[in-house]
Structure 1
Amino acid sequence: MAWTPPRTWVAGEQPTAAIFNTHIRDNFLALDTGPYSYAHLNADVAAGTSGVWTDITSWSVDNSDTVTYSGGTWTLPPAGRYLVFASISYTANATGSRGIRPVINGVVGQNILVPTVTTATYQATVQIYNEVVLGAASTIKFQAHQNSGGALNLRGDTAGLYSRVGVRRVGN
């Protein structure tokens, strides 16, 4: 539904259903951006093999009624501009780098990597925040990367304070 410039009311004018629908109801509907999905990891999960980009599939998801989620992949039915964000935290480790990247419609997005950490007590957090234009039925998933030389976990908790992602339609 398209936005209609607000009406300039005339003194003494009788409001009608058609006027209210066009200038109030329809404009509120135009402001509703629609589909969204937010998710977080409920508990620590394996970040994958050192040196390999790995799909994150253990999300606890809060969907709108038009976004579907299955096995780590979201399907976004309507075309539009979407805000895509992710923040993932890794357990502390003194070696290697940590990363995250989106995969949209099977195409790998920009790799975001945090360089080598010099202390075993530092918990690395990596974030992405992008606005993208997507077609109808587009898919998105997120991948994690670490090259510590061993096994690391992505941090998780029931409040979503550590690792979380989201996609939200912000316009046409």
Structure 2
Amino acid sequence: MIVPSPRTWVVGEIVTAAKLNADIRDALNFLLSPPLWELTHSGIIAPASSTQAVMPFDTEIVDRDNGHSTSSNTSRYTSQTAGYYLVSGAVGFVSNGTGKRELTILLNGTTETYPSSIPGLAAGFTGLTTTGRVYLAVGDYVELYVWQNSGGTLNTNTTKGGPRFGGHWISK
């Protein structure tokens, strides 16, 4: 998608249907349906202890700007439209009271943003969420990383909807 730029009209300019469509209709259509994605994973993921693991996503609930692939680099959402995005992620782990759990949004595989952490719970599941505003140029990508130190692999919990990763464009 291309973010429309506001037009400056001049005195005496003739208004045509093409100008109204390009300058008003297209801008309103973009604002009514900006880039938006929500991804999930249908199965269990079992990250190893003390290793940062990228979360794969095999199901697209919505992907308005075609920034995600279910066959290649499934962990990534790659920006097709530059701007600020509100990005969020959620993951739950099965019961295990040892160590802690962390969830982080990574920009272009290196820059950690908006980390979240919580101790492991011996009863019930340990759920983490993270949300933050991230600027994405066209071609930048974000991923969701998890880390846990239970002493062994630890399954994600799928009974509460599975891992989620989403975002939406909020401004230029």
Pick the TM interval, shorter chain. 0.7 to 0.9
> Identity percentage over the alignment?
24
Select which of 147, 150, 170 maps to 1:148: 150
Tell me how far apart the structure 1 counterparts of residues 26 and 78 of structure 2 sit (CA, whole Å).
27
- 1:57 aligned partner: 56
For the 8 Å contact 2:97–2:119, the answer to whether it is kept is: no
Q: Does 1:130 align with 2:132?
A: yes
Q: Which has the larger radius of gyration?
A: 1
Query: Aligned ranges for residues 18-167 of structure 1 at < 5 Å?
Result: 21=21, 25-32=25-32, 34-46=34-46, 48-62=47-61, 63-69=63-69, 70-71=72-73, 72-110=75-113, 111-117=115-121, 120-156=122-158, 161-167=161-167
Tell me how far apart the structure 1 counterparts of residues 30 and 64 of structure 2 sit (CA, whole Å).
17
RMSD of aligned alpha carbons? 2.6
For the 8 Å contact 1:91–1:152, the answer to whether it is kept is: yes
User: Using a 3 Å threshold, how does the CA distance of structure 1 residues 22 and 37 change in structure 2: closer, same or farther?
Assistant: closer
Structure 1 residue runs of 5 or longer lacking an equivalent are 5-14
Q: Deviations over 1:146-171 (max 9, x none)?
A: 111122111225xx724211022122
Tell me how far apart the structure 2 counterparts of residues 16 and 61 of structure 1 sit (CA, whole Å).
40
Structure 2 residue runs of 5 or longer lacking an equivalent are 8-14
| Partner amino acid, structure 1, of 2:87 | V
Deviates more, 1:80-89 or 1:98-107: 98-107
Q: Deviations over 1:85-132 (max 9, x none)?
A: 001111111111111111111223133111243xx2131111111111
| Partner amino acid, structure 1, of 2:31 | L
